[in-house]
Chains A and B, each alone.
Chain A
């Protein structure tokens, strides 16, 4: 285990915090420091964690009501006028409903608009399929000029939020609803576009994961080691621009890749990894993610289990991909 991670990571009482809290705390820091920061929301102040910003900086908070298309367009106008807007909603609504405005008003103009989509993945749970965003990575990464980041825990979300403010061009980041283990610490290095090796037991295979499922991937790697299977776990948080060097090194060193994400397999992080590898260094791959299906109501852990994103499935994918490795 890499030394800069939370030392209590595998303890039963490991701290659990929703990633979106890191967004709210990051915005508060930015609000005090950067006068250009403006926060918008569409009737989701509390659940996107921008309530405190609205209280402290009311003149830089814009409540748009339940109108995501207008909200995205307003953000484009604000950015054209030199502001640094953060557009906060659930991912199914923004960028889901506001995708045309994101494409035309924001991305084509290459404006400094930061979009965050809360409530992604089946782990949204009881709300059901309508509110479980499973396509947002695909629809944002396909847009030119876009940066797409999927932070793995509270600290990484906070750091990503701070980094987004000073990054040029449109930026999208997604959060989950539930409390998830805090894997990193305040000191863990983070850089957009730089994937991080979180565990390196060996080079039998590499797991490239993003979002809170990095945790399940680390647990899977730890358990596999007991079986004598030694893998590398990479936190591949930046979907675009992806860290080609680290992805290629994993393929060269390990010769087999498993990608893990709480998103449709089609068009997601795994697809982006495959695009890189197919062109440069093809190796066998397995994809953990949503299998071209809609979710449903249920408890987060039940849903992750049902749709194949549990520790057990990750381990199985690793065993399978190793069987498919070419003899060296």
Chain B
């Protein structure tokens, strides 16, 4: 897809392929490609919109639209915009790209579900680089305050951002302590271990977690570092 497009991000999407696989094909998400906007669907909000190639590929594999469309990524007239656009494609739930915005959007979904007493769950996929954004922490604070059990944030802790390693650009550690201090239940997992992702997401759905839960997929980078 990226080769055909001639531009776009490759590392981020590849790093999150296992998480997308577990979510869509591991029985985590409730969705129906024939009825993409059905009311009780689980919501996937992609905050780091630049990794959308993996989302688009996953949605095509899941049957939301034909595979042939994948090569139209970033081309004129395509629904596969360079950064995802709300409902431009079946299954694309939000507009994302400028970092930090998805976390707030996801909270809006989770609050709407709570107001309606609906049982669907919201998953917010985020990068670690976007934790530099103030908006992200505004969102983390509000979710913690409101005990949003129906929201899960998954942070791709790959340690890398555009200008270099996250700890050199803007140190984020200790991330677990920071999120925990904001009233989140934090679980670190290996983001490339599908059973781990699966068990944690489903554990959350069954109401085991008492607080918002963030899962932190360790990519090969962090695995090596620790």
Q: Which residues of B contact A (CB under 8 A)?
A: 43, 45, 85-87, 93-95, 97-98, 100-113, 115, 134-135, 138-139, 141-142, 145
Contact = CB atoms under 8 A, between A and B. Distances in A.
Q: Contact residue range for chain A?
A: 20 to 34
Nearest to A42: B138
A100 B112 contact: no
Contacts of A59: 115
Contacts, number: 109
Interface stretch (A17-25, A71-79, A193-201): A71-79
Main secondary structure of the interface of B (DSSP, over half): helix
A70 B109 contact: no
Nearest to A66: B138
Contact of B141 (A38, A65, A76): A65
B33 to A, nearest CB: 19
Contacts of B109: 77-78, 80-81
Contact of B104 (A60, A81, A101): A101
B112 A82 contact: yes
A73 B85 contact: no
Interface in A258-298: none
Contacts of B43: 81
A78 B104 contact: no
A80 B106 CA distance: 10
Contacts of A69: 100, 104, 134-135, 138
A67 interface: yes
Nearest to A98: B135
Given A73-B135, A76-B105, A108-B85, A81 B112 contact: yes
Given A74-B108, A81-B108, 19 more contacts: A38-B115, A62-B111, A67-B138, A69-B135, A70-B135, A70-B138, A70-B139, A71-B104, A74-B139, A76-B95, A77-B107, A77-B112, A78-B108, A80-B105, A81-B43, A104-B95, A108-B85, A108-B86, A111-B86
A16 interface: no
